[in-house]
Amino acid sequence: MFARLRSDIQCILDRDPAARSTWEVLTCYPGLHALVLHRRAHWCWNHGFKWLGRFISHLSRGFTGIEIHPGAKIGERVFFDHAMGVVVGETAEIGDGCTIYQGVTLGGTSLYKGTKRHPTLGRDVVVSAGAKVLGGFVVGDGAKIGSNAVVIKPVPAGATAVGIPARIIPSKNGASADVTASERKFSAYGITLEDDPLSQAMKGLIDHASSQEHQIALLWQAIEKLSASARAGAGADCVPQDAALSETFEAERLAQLVGK
């Protein structure tokens, strides 16, 4: 039991840049409290204490703001970040390592008892703030659901789904069904450090400056040739006196500084 709690706490420390200590996570993270209470409720539900399971879930809802049906199956290292307003339905399944933000509903669209009405999330899925995933289909390993998306169809592993109704957008970093969950890095808020826009802009500028330096070197070579032939013909030297012919641009060093 304590090993599991330690792993729950560690996964929050790993994934939330705002989390500072074990004590803070233990005392101030409703997502953790909801998980611990859900395990009790789920045990009761599976052992025939249906009302007690519902009652624990109800108390947990009041205490944490997260409503998880005691029948829902939740894997290891699942993190409900901020967590308020989350609803997880009876037949929902959440795989290991998933991250679920505030306002998310894993809900159903049918009223038939005894059927799989709610979604199954694979491993390491990120469901962003306000998203609704509705129906008994699968969201594949490592998929990302955009904030406020309404997902009503299966999402392939590694894909990103956004919008209403959700559509799959092309992946920037080549994530696909072929990439196993363990090969993927966790990306808080659905982005990775490599996606940092300032860093991307710096890399773009360095590449551009480096290619311009190459072009300028070629131009100087051409100018010097022209100048040499002009001198030979007793014409005027066309290279300006103050031309900085030896100036170099340290593209590699700058690229290292921005983490390229």
Ligand X SMILES: CC(C)(COP(=O)(O)OP(=O)(O)OC[C@H]1O[C@@H](n2cnc3c(N)ncnc32)[C@H](O)[C@@H]1OP(=O)(O)O)[C@@H](O)C(=O)NCCC(=O)NCCS
128 binds ligand X per the rule CB under 6 A: yes
169 binds ligand X per the rule CB under 6 A: yes
Task: Tell which one of 77, 101, 108, 124 touches ligand X (CB under 6 A).
Answer: 101
Task: Tell which one of 146, 151, 157, 184 touches ligand X (CB under 6 A).
Answer: 146
- State the minimum distance, in angstroms, from the CB of residue 5 to ligand X: 24
Query: Which amino acid, one-letter code, is at 147?
Result: S
- State the minimum distance, in angstroms, from the CB of residue 211 to ligand X: 25
- State the minimum distance, in angstroms, from the CB of residue 45 to ligand X: 30
Degrees to nearest 5, angle at CA 39 with 37 and 44: 100
- State the minimum distance, in angstroms, from the CB of residue 167 to ligand X: 9
Phi, psi (degrees; rounded to nearest 5) at 171:
-80, 140
From 10-18, 65-73, 133-141, 161-169, give the range in contact with ligand X by CB under 6 A. 161-169
- Which C-beta is closer to ligand X: that of 32 or that of 41? 32
| Buried residues in 17-50 as b, exposed as e (16+ CB within 10 A) | eebeeeeebeeebbbbbbbebbbebbebbeeeee
- Of the candidates 11, 120, 127, which has an alpha carbon nearest to the alpha carbon of residue 73? 120
| CA–CA gap between residue 71 and residue 84 (Å, rounded) | 20
From 20-28, 84-92, 157-165, 201-209, give the range in contact with ligand X by CB under 6 A. 157-165
From 34-42, 57-65, 142-150, 224-232, give the range in contact with ligand X by CB under 6 A. 142-150
CA pseudo-torsion sign 28, 32, 36, 37: positive
- Cα-Cα-Cα-Cα dihedral of 98, 104, 110, 113, to 10°? 60
Contact 230, 189 (CB under 8 A): no
Task: Tell which one of 19, 54, 148, 210 touches ligand X (CB under 6 A).
Answer: 148
Q: In what helix (H) or strand (E) does residue 89 lie, and over which residues does it extend?
A: none
State which of positions 176-215 bind ligand X (CB under 6 A).
189-191, 195
Residues constituting the chain: 260
212 C-beta neighbours (distance < 10 Å), count: 11
Contact 185, 192 (CB under 8 A): yes
State which of positions 46-85 bind ligand X (CB under 6 A).
82
- Which C-beta is closer to ligand X: that of 41 or that of 175? 175
135 binds ligand X per the rule CB under 6 A: no
172 binds ligand X per the rule CB under 6 A: yes
- State the minimum distance, in angstroms, from the CB of residue 55 to ligand X: 30
Residue with the CB atom nearest ligand X in the bound state: 190
Footprint of ligand X on this chain (CB under 6 A)?
82, 101, 128-129, 144, 146-149, 160, 162-163, 169, 172, 189-191, 195
